[in-house]
């Protein structure tokens, strides 16, 4: 690290409860939800009229009309209109990548404060015009005279009215993310029971966090929702065992319960230099000390679509001089229970660690009692770009509550990508 790099503080975060697709937020747009999350953050940290260094946020499913979504949300907020903003997109890694981008600017001294965020709606999803219809309409637009335009319109066919719905599908393989994950689950030998057990734990931990009021200073209720709509504590292996597999064929192990549902929601995180925070008398929960992204070739090299975090982690650990066991809290995004379990299995596996990571020894296992202790995406839901902010804010708060300690985040993303980061408690790593 060069001496000019500063420590980056996490001040806090705010999100709206996550809703299931076509639920209470069915008619809320991405900008509505991001604005709601941002308003709550401004409120909590008295940022009205404040000129923030920069805001970065993004959405995975984005309307063409939402050009510079984040800047528009800033302009509609109580922040000073002089706050610049930009959009980020890196699939499910969007939220954490936005945090990293803002943190890096603060670390370099380019800005003193920043907000990172993310939002997604699968209800108010952008529909593209059917390609044939789009071509005719564009041709019509290019045709100067009315007669010519009318003639073009005779090319219209009823079938063209069917819109192109954005599919949750990898363009290069034609497989959905769930189908990709089912292949990983099989190749890593992940059982249905292990996935269901992780799912139950996620719901129970999130419910407990709500019950003890732990979530109170992380959320603002929205459109009548006070808790994540997907949350269903108190399930059993027996109950979950009755569900039919949704991915991986009839022999598959992945169900609607142990996979995250399509969801709507938004989150934001406030980051700053220590001086900026002190000057405003704002608390520092934790510091962001390291981060790393990685990508895998799932198209030609038969690597699992969601295995990139398994690669990003050792690179980051080596740079930080840490081992996988040096953490008090692990936040591993539960896109699918199987994804979490595959990642853990890979880190324990001598073959993966030697052949794919080029390491002499496996990274080893982690104490899973320290993982996702306040619940994870399986319980909360997973509005793609909003997950990173939820996790960063939650982990920072947990580390602050503990008074000391170190936490690590691992998030898998579509198109074979992964983002990881390390947070240290404001009270020190240990």
Partner 1 sequence: MSQDLYTQIVNSPPGGFIAKRVGLPQPTTLDRYRPGQPLVSGTVLVGAAPGGRLAGAIAATLAAANAEVATTLDADLRSAAADAGLDASVFNPEAGGDRRFKALVFDATGISDSTELVELQKFFHPSVRKVQSSGRVVVLGTPPEDTKTPREHTAQRALEGFTRSLGKEIGKGSTVQLVYVAPGAEDLIGSTLRFFVSPKSAYVSGQVARVSAGLPVPADIDWEKPLAGKTALVTGASRGIGEAIIETLARDGANVVGLDIPQLGEDLKKVTDRLDGEAIELDITSDDAPKVIADFFKGRGVDIVVHNAGVTRDRTLAKMPEDRWQSVLDINLSSEERINDALLKAKAINAGGRIIGVSSMAGIAGNRGQTNYATSKAGVIGMVQSMAPVLAKSDITINAVAPGFIETQMTAAMPIAVREPGRRLNSMNQGGLPIDVAETIAWFASSGSTGLTGNVVRVCGQMLLGA
Interaction site with partner 1 (CB under 8 A): 182-183, 185-193, 245, 248-249, 251-253, 345, 349-351, 353-356
The beta-strand segments (E) located in 296-413 are: 329-332, 406-413
Contact 336, 254 (CB under 8 A): yes
Shortest distance in whole angstroms from residue 205 CB to partner 1: 25
Distance CA 47, CA 52 (A): 8
Residue (194 or 262) nearer to partner 1, CB: 194
Termini Cα distance of the chain: 21
DSSP 3-state of 247? strand
Distance CA 99, CA 395 (A): 13
333 in catalytic set: no
Residue (316 or 342) nearer to partner 1, CB: 342
92 in catalytic set: yes
Report DSSP letters for 112-175, one per residue.
Answer: SEEEEEEEE-SSS---BPPHHHHHHHHHHHH--SHHHHHHHHTT--GGGGS-BPPPSB-TTT--
Distance CA 8, CA 104 (A): 8
Q: Which letter, b or e, does each residue of 220-241 get, where b requires 16 or more Cβ atoms within 10 Å of its Cβ?
A: bebbebebbbbbbbeeeeeebe
181 in catalytic set: no
- Residue 66 sits at φ, ψ, to 5 deg, of -85, 50
Shortest distance in whole angstroms from residue 351 CB to partner 1: 5
Residue (193 or 226) nearer to partner 1, CB: 193
Shortest distance in whole angstroms from residue 249 CB to partner 1: 6
Shortest distance in whole angstroms from residue 194 CB to partner 1: 9
Distance CA 422, CA 290 (A): 5
Q: Choose, from 63, 92, 181, 203, the residue flagged as catalytic.
A: 92
Residue (193 or 367) nearer to partner 1, CB: 193
Q: Choose, from 180, 203, 333, 382, the residue flagged as catalytic.
A: 382
Contact 377, 274 (CB under 8 A): no
Shortest distance in whole angstroms from residue 298 CB to partner 1: 14
Q: Choose, from 181, 342, 353, 412, the residue flagged as catalytic.
A: 412
Shortest distance in whole angstroms from residue 411 CB to partner 1: 23
The beta-strand segments (E) located in 296-338 are: 329-332
Residue (38 or 324) nearer to partner 1, CB: 324
Contact 19, 229 (CB under 8 A): yes
Residue (245 or 376) nearer to partner 1, CB: 245
Report angle CA 245, 330, 345 to the nearest 5 degrees: 50
Positions marked catalytic: 92, 382, 412
């Amino acid at each position: 690290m060069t001496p000019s790099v500063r420590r980056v503080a996490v001040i806090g975060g705010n999100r709206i409860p996550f809703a299931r697709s076509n639920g209470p937020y069915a008619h809320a747009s991405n900008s509505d939800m991001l604005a709601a999350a941002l308003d709550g953050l401004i409120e909590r940290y008295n940022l009205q009229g404040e000129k923030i260094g920069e805001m970065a946020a993004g959405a995975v499913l984005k309307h063409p009309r939402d050009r510079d979504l984040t800047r528009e949300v800033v302009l509609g907020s109580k922040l000073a209109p002089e706050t610049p903003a930009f959009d980020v997109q890196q699939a499910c890694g969007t939220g954490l990548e936005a945090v990293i981008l803002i943190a890096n600017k603060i670390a370099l001294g380019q800005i003193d404060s920043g907000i990172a965020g993310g939002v997604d709606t699968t209800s108010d999803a952008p529909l593209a015009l059917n390609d044939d219809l789009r071509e005719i309409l564009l041709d019509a637009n290019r045709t100067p005279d009315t007669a010519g335009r009318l003639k073009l319109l005779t090319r219209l066919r009823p079938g063209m009215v069917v819109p192109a719905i954005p599919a949750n599908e990898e363009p290069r393989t034609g497989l959905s993310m769930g189908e990709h994950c089912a292949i990983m689950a099989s190749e890593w030998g992940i059982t249905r029971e292990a996935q269901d057990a992780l799912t139950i734990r996620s719901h129970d931990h999130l419910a407990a966090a709500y019950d003890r009021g732990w979530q109170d200073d992380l959320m603002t209720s929205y459109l009548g929702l006070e808790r994540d709509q997907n949350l269903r504590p108190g399930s059993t292996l027996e109950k979950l065992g009755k569900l039919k597999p949704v991915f991986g064929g009839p022999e598959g192990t992945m169900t609607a319960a142990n996979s995250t549902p399509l969801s709507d929601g938004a989150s934001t995180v406030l980051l700053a230099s220590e001086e900026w925070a002190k000057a405003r008398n704002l608390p520092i929960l934790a510091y962001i000390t390291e981060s790393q992204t990685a990508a895998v070739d799932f198209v030609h090299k038969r690597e699992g679509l969601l295995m990139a975090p398994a690669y990003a982690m050792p690179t980051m650990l080596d740079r930080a001089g840490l081992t996988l066991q040096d953490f008090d809290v692990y936040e591993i995004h539960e896109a699918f229970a199987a994804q979490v379990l595959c990642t853990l299995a890979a880190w324990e596996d001598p073959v993966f660690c030697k052949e794919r990571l080029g390491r002499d020894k496996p990274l080893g296992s982690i104490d899973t009692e320290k993982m996702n202790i306040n619940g994870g995406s399986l319980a909360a839901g997973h509005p793609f770009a909003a997950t990173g902010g939820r996790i960063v804010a939650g982990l920072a708060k947990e580390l602050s509550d503990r008074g000391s300690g170190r936490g690590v985040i691992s998030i898998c993303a579509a198109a074979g990508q992964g983002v990881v980061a390390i947070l240290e408690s404001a009270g020190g790593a240990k």
